[in-house]
Amino acid sequence: MRLAGILPVIALLFCSGAASAQSWDSYSNRENFFSVNLPDDPTATNAPYKTQKGTSLTAHVFTAIAPPGSRSTGKYTVTVVDYSSAKDEIPTAVEQARQAIRAKGVVKYDDINNIDLHLTRRLTVETPAKTRLLAEILMAANNRLYITEAETALNLPPPANFQASLQILDDNGTRIRTRTSLGVPEGVTSPIGAGGIVNDPDKIAAQVRGTWRVAGGACETAYFKSGARSKTKRDEDALSGTITNAGTTFSGQLVLVGSRLGQFVNPTTDLAIMLFDPQDGNKLNISGIGGPALGWPDAALELCPGSRG
């Protein structure tokens, strides 16, 4: 099973290229109670936000830009609107945001999904500027509307490492994973009852365990070899391993949970080096996003026979 099955609709593969100097990492905002993966520290601005009934609220907008030349080139935005002073309008909040996103181009996908058991509206829109806009809209129990938007070129892989990384935080900065179905009309069917996004590190570790070679290459010079289960500096469940390519060998930890799911990080610096995207049929795609793999071409790997014992 692919990580795309764990993070529905979209895959985790993106962000490489010699011109890419940014380091994707988790950004947390305690004042607005969220965390998300971004290519850089965002610029924060405020903008007027008027509800369908005409109530004036404030949109807190956080925008990060990934520079040209990378696999993640584009604009990444998180918008937060506090509906605490307009609680009676919460049932229409998601639909209002949905219609605003639909108006930006040709809608390719629009359906109910969920992140961390929060019901969401997920959209894919192709804009007149020939870009792809991926959006996620949710109303959290803290009365805040969250809208994430990633606008990237049509020929780039969908940036799920951003879209699927949104987490809602409590007053202590702890991730909330509670069934929430707010901001949508009564009677909307939600997939939340199915348990939400899978958070199963054992299952993901089993997908990538073993020795992996470049397609058609030799297992003796394997590209990736998995090691023992471990913990990152942030106490995330991880799988240790080594990468060997072009005469360079380095060790790392594959994050198995949370907003950094799929990132292969340096165990000393905790910075992301690569992104892993398991495919069906014992295939594995890898992209370099940081030193020493920055600028490496994407690799399509296959499992070496018998390497799982």
User: Using one digit for the tens of pLDDT, what is the confidence trace for 113-160?
Assistant: 877 778 889 899 999 999 999 999 999 999 999 999 999 998 877 776
Q: Helical H runs in the chain?
A: 3-6, 93-102, 160-163, 201-208
Indicate if the pLDDT at residue 82 is higher than 80: yes
Tell me what pLDDT residue 272 has: 82
User: Is 8 a residue whose pLDDT tops 50?
Assistant: no
Give the full edge-to-edge strand order of the sheet including 34-38. 25-29, 34-38, 167-168
pLDDT at 289 over 80: no
Q: Which residue has the higher pLDDT, 94 or 71?
A: 94
Q: Helices H, strands E: what count in the chain? A: 4, 18
- The pLDDT-based confidence of 198 (bands split at 50, 70, 90) is very low
Q: What pLDDT does 186 receive?
A: 65
For residue 32, the model assigns a pLDDT of: 97
* pLDDT for residue 235: 87
Domain ranges of the chain: 3-194, 201-303
CA distance 277 to 15: 12
φ/ψ region of 91 (left if φ > 0, alpha if ψ in -120 to 50, else beta) reads alpha
> 3-194 architecture in CATH?
3-Layer(aba) Sandwich (3.40)
Residue with the bigger pLDDT between 207 and 176: it is 207
The number of CA neighbours under 13 Å toward the Cβ of 297 is: 5
pLDDT band of 12, cuts 50, 70, 90: very low
What was the pLDDT predicted at 199? 52
Predicted pLDDT at 248 = 93
Tell me whether domains 3-194 and 201-303 share a fold.
no
Assigned token pair, 306: 């018998």
Collect all residues with Cβ–Cβ distance below 8 Å to 79 and sequence separation of at least 6.
59, 60, 61, 62, 145, 146, 147, 148, 149
Q: How confident is the model at residue 209 (pLDDT cuts 50, 70, 90)?
A: very high
pLDDT band at 1 (very low <50, low <70, confident <90, very high): very low
State pTM to two decimals. 0.64
192: pLDDT confidence band, cut at 50, 70 and 90?
very low
Q: How confident is the model at residue 292 (pLDDT cuts 50, 70, 90)?
A: confident
pLDDT band at 2 (very low <50, low <70, confident <90, very high): very low
Q: Is the pLDDT of residue 232 over 90?
A: yes
Cβ neighbour number for residue 269 with a 10 Å cutoff: 12
Amino acid in the structure at residue 184: V
Class of domain 201-303: mainly beta
More confident residue, 292 or 307: 307
DSSP state of 180: B
Is the pLDDT at 191 greater than 60, yes or no?
Answer: no
Average pLDDT (70-77) is 86
Q: Say yes or no to pLDDT of 247 above 60.
A: yes
The band of 268, judged by pLDDT with boundaries at 50, 70 and 90, is very high
Is 180 or 96 the better-scoring residue by pLDDT?
96
Residue 163 pLDDT > 80, yes or no? no
What average pLDDT does the structure give for the chain? 84
